[in-house]
Amino acid sequence: MSKVALVTGITGQDGAYLTRLLLGKGYTVYGTYRRTSSVNFWRLEELGCDKHPNLHLVEYDLTDLGTNTRLIDKAGVTEVYNLAAQSFVGVSFDQPSTTAQITGVGALNLLEAIRTVNRKIRFYQASTSEMFGKVQAVPQIETTPFYPRSPYGVAKLYAHWITINYRESYDIFGCSGILFNHESPLRGREFVTRKITDSVAKIVQGKLDVLELGNIDAKRDWGFADEYVEGMWRMLQADEPDTFVLATNRTETVRDFVTMAFKAVNIALVWKGAAENETATDAKTGKLLVRINPKFYRPAEVELLIGNPAKAKEKLGWEPKTTLEQLCQMMVEADLRRNTINASF
Ligand code: NDP
Ligand code: GDR
C-alpha cells in the first residue's frame, strides 16, 4: 500500500528536505502552508520538488482544530510530521501567546485529529534541544532533565509531553525527536548561522560593512538538516514509538562559527575586547568586520547545548556525517552564489 505523509510547515527548512526525502521514497506528500499575501516556496523550488506530481500543497493553519481533522480525514494520511511552529526563539519573547498556540497547542490539535479520525496514523513531533535550556547535565540525552529558557522552549515542552501522553493514553504511535540545531543553505536568515554566512558573502561582495551579533559565547551543537530529516523518517519506521535525541556530540561557540565562516573566504580574524565591546577585524587589513549589538541579546539565554545521539545510532542506525566545517563551507558558498545573482532568499 502506498504511503501518504502529511508534512506541516513545508515552507520551512526541514519541510523542504523531508519532502524531497519522502517523494524519493515513493510517498504521496500533502504539505501545508499558511495563507499569506506572499507565500514562498523557494526552498522546494531549490530542491527541485515543487512540481512533483505526488506533492500536494494545501492551505492550513495549525491552530485550527477543524482544519486538522478534515485534512487528515480527507487525504488518507498514514504518517504525520509536525514541523510547523513559530520556531524563532528570539521572537517567542515578544509573542509568547502566539508561540504557545502554534508551537504548543498546535501539536495537540493534530494529535486530537488523529485520535478522532484514525489512531493507526503515525505521528512525529519536532521537539528541540531548547527544552534542555539551562544546563542540568552534559552531554544531553533523552533522560536529561528539562529546564526551558524561553516561551518557545516551554511551548515545545508541552508539545513533547502531550505526544508522550497520547502515546500512553490512546496507544497512538507518537514519536518525539529531540533535535539539536541543524542548519543548511536553506536555513532562514534570522537564525545565527545563516545570518553569519549570508553576511560574510555580502561583506566579500562589498554589500555590507559590518556583521552585528548578540551573545557570541553561546555554544551550540550544529548538524546538517538534510541528515536530520532522515532521522525523523526512521523514527516513524521503527517497531515502537519512542523519543530520540539527534545531535553531533560536538559543540562550538557562535564566535567559532563566525571565525570558520570568514576562513571559508580566506579571511583570518583578530578578536579583541570582551562582552559588548568585543570586535573582530581582518588580520591583513585591520578593517572592522564584526561587532556586538546588545539588541540581539535575549532576556534569558541557553548557554550550552551538546547532545549524545547514541540511542538513535543504536536503535535507528542514524548518525551524522557532515562536519561543521563542511556545513559552514556549503552555506557560505550557497550565499556567495545567491548574492551574485541577487536572489531574494
Ligand atoms: P522553519 O522556521 O524553517 O519552518 C517553520 C514552518 O512552520 C514554516 O513552514 C512556517 O510557515 C510554519 N508555520 C508557522 N506557523 C504556522 C501556523 N500557525 N500554521 C501552520 N504552519 C505554520 O523551521 P525549521 O524547518 O528549521 O524547523 C522545523 C521544526 O523543527 C520546527 O517546529 C522547529 O521548531 C523544530 N526544530 C528545529 C530545529 C532546527 O535547528 N532547525 C531544531 C529542533 C527543532 P511560514 O513559512 O508561513 O512561516
Ligand atoms: P536557537 O538558534 O536559538 O539555538 O534556536 P539561533 O540561531 O537563533 O541562535 C543560536 C545562538 O546564537 C545566539 N546569537 C544570535 N542568534 C540570532 N538569531 N541572531 C543573532 O544576531 C545572534 N547573536 C548571537 C543566540 O542568542 C543563540 O544563543 C534554533 C531554532 O531553530 C529553534 O527552532 C530550534 O528549536 C533550536 O535551534 C534547536
State phi, psi for 335 to the nearest 5 degrees.
Answer: -70, -35
Specify if 43 maps to a domain. Answer: yes
The average pLDDT across 199-225 equals 98
Predicted ipTM? 0.99
Spatial CA neighbour of 305 closest among 252, 226, 263, 342: 252
Ligand 1 shell residues, CB under 6 Å: 8-9, 11-15, 32, 34, 36, 60-63, 83-87, 102, 126, 128, 179, 181-182, 188
Look at residue 345 and tell me if it is in a domain.
no
In this prediction, residue 31 carries a pLDDT of 96
Q: Let me know whether 295 and 239 are in one domain.
A: no
Residue 214 CB contacts under 8 Å (≥ 6 apart), including other chains: 292, 293, 294, 295, 296, 297, 298
- Grid cell of 302 as nine digits: 541557553
Is 55 part of a structural domain of the chain?
A: yes
Q: Cα 86 from chain centroid?
A: 11
Kindly give the interhelix angle for 254-263 and 192-204, rounded to the nearest 10 degrees: 30
Residue 39: is its pLDDT beyond 80? no
Query: Is there a domain that residue 154 lies in?
Result: yes
Helix, strand and coil in the chain, % to nearest 5? 40, 20, 40
Q: Is residue 92 part of a domain?
A: yes
Q: Residues 143, 206: one domain?
A: no
Please tell me whether residues 18 and 39 are part of one structural domain.
yes
Q: How confident is the model at residue 345 (pLDDT cuts 50, 70, 90)?
A: low
Residues 234 and 262 in one domain: no
One domain, residues 291 and 228: no
* Domain shared by 120 and 228, yes or no: yes
For residues 91 and 144, state if they share a domain. yes
Question: Which residues are known to be catalytic?
Answer: 128, 130, 152
Give, using CA atoms, the residue closest to atom 11 of ligand 1. Answer: 9
Domain that holds residue 261: 192-217+253-301+329-340
Task: Provide the 3-class DSSP secondary structure of residue 142.
Answer: coil
Single-letter amino acid code for the residue at 319: E
Query: What is the DSSP track for 10-39?
Result: TTSHHHHHHHHHHHHTT-EEEEEE---TT-
Confidence of residue 343 (pLDDT cuts 50, 70, 90): low
How many domains does the chain fold into?
A: 2
The CATH number covering residue 281 comes to 3.90.25.10
Strand arrangement, sheet containing 4-8: 55-59, 28-33, 4-8, 79-82, 122-128, 174-179, 243-246
Ligand nearest to the Cα of 18, by number: 1
Residue with cell 519541510: 15
73 — pLDDT class (breaks 50, 70, 90): confident
Quote the mean pLDDT of the chain.
96
Tally Cβ neighbours within 10 Å of residue 269: 18
pLDDT for the residue numbered 77: 95
Q: Which residues line ligand 2 (CB under 6 A)?
A: 87, 89-90, 128-130, 180-181, 190-192, 195, 213-216, 218, 220, 254, 296, 298, 301-302
Using CA atoms of 50, 7, 67, 130 in order, give the dihedral in degrees to the nearest 10. Answer: -130
Residue 49 has which C-alpha cell?
520538488
Do 281 and 145 fall into the same domain?
no
Do 145 and 278 lie in one domain? The reply is no
For residue 233, give the DSSP letter.
H
User: Do the Cβ atoms of 42 and 68 come closer than 8 Å?
Assistant: no
207 shares a domain with 126? no
Asked if residue 312 is part of any domain, the answer here is: yes
The continuous run of DSSP H or E covering 1 comes out as none
State whether 9 and 64 are in the same domain. Answer: yes
Please report which ligand is nearest the Cα atom of 32. Answer: 1
Both 243 and 288 in one domain: the answer is no
CATH number for the domain including 102? 3.40.50.720
pTM for this model (two decimals): 0.97
Establish if 244 belongs to a structural domain. Answer: yes
pLDDT of residue 344 exceeding 60, the answer is no
